[in-house]
């Protein structure tokens, strides 16, 4: 298997929000692993960017957190999606869908609108 790619700039927040929408509250390691698994292990999540992203999402009110105990009995901060986070996820999803549709026009020559 080849080397795993880093998460694209601007996509991490969307992946975190989508992961928290799909699953119960998770700690940072669990979020990172889920993103990697969902990508088919083609992406590598850098913890040096994940935790600042989680902090930013929390400050913006898109996620909330509380301390709990992990499966291996260690103290861990668990994150969950807020109502504002669900709305932000919908907005970002629409924006990325539009962006990928635009890019598809460039990647599939001859299929542009007349």
Identify which has the larger pLDDT, 80 or 110. 80
Q: What is the rounded distance in angstroms from the CA atom of residue 81 to the CA atom of residue 78?
A: 10
Can you list the domains of the chain with their CATH numbers? 5-107 (1.10.10.10)
Over residues 17-43, the pLDDT tens digits come to 999 999 889 999 999 999 999 999 999
User: pTM for the whole thing?
Assistant: 0.85
Asked if 63 contacts 85 with a C-beta cutoff of 8 angstroms, the reply is yes
pLDDT in tens, 51-80: 999 999 999 999 999 999 988 899 999 999
22 vs 13: CA distance, rounded Å: 14
Q: Are 79 and 28 in contact (CB under 8 A)?
A: yes
Between strands 5-6 and 43-44, the pairing is parallel
Question: Cα–Cα distances in Å, from 101 out to 22, 95, 105, 114?
Answer: 24, 10, 7, 16
Task: Map residue 89 onto helix, strand or coil.
Answer: helix
Residue recorded with tokens 């668990």: 78
């Amino acid at each position: 298997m080849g080397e795993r790619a880093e998460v694209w700039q601007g996509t991490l927040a969307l992946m975190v929000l989508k992961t928290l929408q799909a699953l119960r509250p998770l700690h940072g390691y669990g979020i990172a692993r889920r993103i990697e698994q969902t990508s088919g292990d083609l992406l590598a999540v850098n913890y040096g960017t994940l935790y600042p992203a989680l902090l930013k999402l929390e400050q913006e009110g898109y996620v909330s957190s509380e301390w709990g105990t992990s499966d291996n009995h260690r103290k861990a901060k668990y994150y969950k999606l807020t109502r504002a986070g669900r709305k932000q996820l919908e907005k970002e999803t629409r924006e990325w869908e539009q962006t990928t549709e635009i890019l598809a026009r460039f990647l599939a020559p001859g299929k542009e609108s007349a």
